[in-house]
Chains A and B, each alone.
Chain A
Amino acid sequence: MNNAYLYALTGIALFTLGLYALIIYSHLLRKILALNIMTGGVFLQLVALSTRARPLLDAVPHAMVITGIVVAVSATALALALMLRLRDASGSAELIEEPTE
């Protein structure tokens, strides 16, 4: 039981850490990595908390996490591709410039 809580708290910590990094850093690669850390935190949370929902091992959250990992990988791939395109299109700037119009 204690273990599960430890994992869950770690998950929350990772999520918060990722959120902080996502907002603070302007480099896109860092932002993408931050999102990945957040994702990891959420998955950890899902698996850790599920042990409390039922006495025995519950397979549904595991299925969810696997689906989630697939989604996260494709999202990361898209983000990285976009980042490269953006770098090609707007010179070497890898940061997001604030919209001015």
Chain B
Amino acid sequence: MLIVLPLIGTLLCFLLPRQVKALGLMTALAIAAGAVALLWQLLEQGAMRYPVGGWGAPLGIDLYVDGLSLLMLLITVTVGLAVSIYANAAFKPEKAVYFWPLWLLLWTALNALFLSADLFNLYVTLELLGLSAVALVALAGGSAALGAAMRYLLVSLLGSMLYLLGLALLYHSFASVDIAILAQRMESTPAVWAAMVLMTAGLLLKTALFPLHFWLPPAHANAPAAVSALLSALVVKASFYILLRLWLEVFPLSHAAPGQFLGLLGAAAILWGGVQALRQTRLKMLIAYSTVSQLGYLFIAFPLATTMAWKGAMYLLLSHALAKSAMFLAAGNLLLFGGHDRISHLDRVAQRLPLTLAAFALAGVSIMGLPPSAGFVGKWLLLDTALRSGEWGWAVVMILGSLLAAAYVFKVIGYAFTQAEVTHEASEVSPTMEWTAFALALAAIVLGLLTHWPLALMDIGAPLAISLPALDSGAAA
């Protein structure tokens, strides 16, 4: 099973610190094989439910797989494998001893989260995710990283508490925390609204949507490169995934107001994140603010609320996971290469680290949303829906956001080609680290060419199908 596997890996890594690198990689490969096997099963049988220990839904714990959770699992495997290989090259043995168990624990939490079918299970996995992510940030050492980790921990705990309070209210109303059962019993009472507001607020805090994003840039920028890649690509997406499940399945959007509100926050995030990214002088801070901006796009789907829009957001999520992890890994290479990540001092890295810069540029193409990339497909689906339903405002914001993205990506690339005033002693960067970053960036482009496949996967179990029928027929045409 996908959850047990990384957990065993974690324990083994704790017990046998000497073989930690080999053990970690083996576990990663085993998880990948497990995920592919699950994909196979899913393609044949459709969405599946698995009662753990043979107990049924109301009492026991259920696991549930459909297209949405499988896509999240697959993207986790893709990014996870690449980062694992990168990390083995990047971390010195004494750091790897700590990195591997924590990362496998994080992976356990992610897999469990994507497979959970009840809200309390989601809380536990969310907490596990938060704790291991915090420990990973603190891995960098130094007061900046520790401070960022501390702030991240406080925010993450506060988010969980809000979520749990909401959960208490939901349980009080319906005497169940299973998503499917809740969906049947759901009705619009004040208690439910209060619960949804609390849970959404908690999850937004963890997803770092605009006014609640303050903790993200320091945490993501101060962590080691491999960890930043994981955090930006996967961890923030996990809480977004729960938000999707909540609003699509537990509490389908019957009212436009909360959707509009989330959309407005998303739009603010796109612009604010973009502007802040442009203002940064350090490369990793720039990339972290770019994450804030890109997360905003995901929330644009809430006011549009058609199947097309959800698919667009999911596609964007996948492409962002690939592109942003590639960017952070490339930034890690640059940091190692020059010993710093000040953008204005990138001294002719284009000639000296061509592969890394190519990875950064390719990832940038996807972040901007230029045609062949996966970012383009996601944005196109969102734009298309916005224009079809006559919501011009969202389209304008999305295009402005892309322009901002182009501006900050080119800012970096421009400095990479020119000679800096200060020349630096350059240190070696291992080819493995360059190639993994490049492979991820390439994957973001390739994903844009293979659009049919992931889109078909999203239909299994029809997790995204709930929407207004009138708009849906228009979007399908």
Contact = CB atoms under 8 A, between A and B. Distances in A.
A85 B153 CA distance: 14
B56 interface: no
A35 B161 contact: yes
Contacts of B75: none
A12 B174 CA distance: 20
B169 A49 contact: yes
A42 B164 contact: yes
A96 B151 contact: yes
Given A82-B134, A101-B282, A45 B165 contact: yes
Contacts of A17: none
Contacts of A58: 175
A50 B165 contact: no
Interface in A33-87: 35, 38-39, 41-42, 45-46, 49-50, 52-54, 58, 60-61, 64, 67-68, 71, 74-75, 78-79, 82-83, 85-86
A58 B131 CA distance: 30
B161 A39 contact: yes
Interface string B148-171: 111101100110010011011101
Nearest to B59: A60
A56 to B, nearest CB: 12
Nearest to B134: A78
B143 interface: yes
Contacts of B414: none
A95 B415 CA distance: 37
Nearest to B169: A49
A27 to B, nearest CB: 12
A67 B61 CA distance: 14
B124 interface: yes
B150 A86 contact: yes
B175 A54 contact: yes
Given A46-B168, A50-B172, A82 B143 contact: no
B54 interface: no
A32 to B, nearest CB: 8
Contact of B171 (A22, A28, A50): A50
Contacts of A31: 154
Given A15-B165, A78-B135, A90 B172 contact: no
B146 A15 contact: no
Nearest to B164: A42
Using C-beta atoms within 8 Å of the partner chain, give the interface range for chain A: 35 or more
Contacts of B120: 64, 67
A62 to B, nearest CB: 12
A82 B165 contact: no
A49 B153 contact: no
B390 interface: no
A37 B127 CA distance: 17
Contacts of B218: 99, 101
Contacts of A83: 150
Nearest to B148: A99
A38 to B, nearest CB: 5
Contacts of B171: 46, 49-50, 53, 60-61, 64
Contact of B138 (A64, A68, A82, A90): A82
A71 B127 contact: yes
A15 B284 CA distance: 36
A28 to B, nearest CB: 7
Contact of A49 (B151, B158, B161, B172): B172
Interface string B198-231: 0000000000000000000110000000000000
Interface of B: 59, 120, 123-124, 127-128, 131, 134-135, 138, 141-143, 146-151, 153-154, 157-158, 161, 164-165, 167-169, 171-175, 217-218, 280-282, 285
Of all A-B residue pairs in the complex, the 6 with the closest CB atoms, nearest first, are A90-B143, A49-B172, A89-B143, A53-B175, A46-B168, A86-B146
Given A41-B165, A85-B146, A99-B148, 14 more contacts: A15-B165, A19-B158, A28-B150, A35-B161, A46-B167, A49-B172, A53-B174, A61-B171, A74-B131, A75-B153, A78-B134, A90-B147, A101-B218, A101-B282
26 contacts: A15-B161, A22-B158, A35-B154, A38-B161, A39-B161, A41-B165, A42-B165, A45-B168, A46-B171, A49-B168, A49-B171, A53-B171, A53-B172, A53-B173, A60-B59, A71-B128, A75-B127, A79-B150, A79-B153, A79-B154, A85-B138, A96-B150, A97-B147, A99-B218, A101-B281, A101-B282
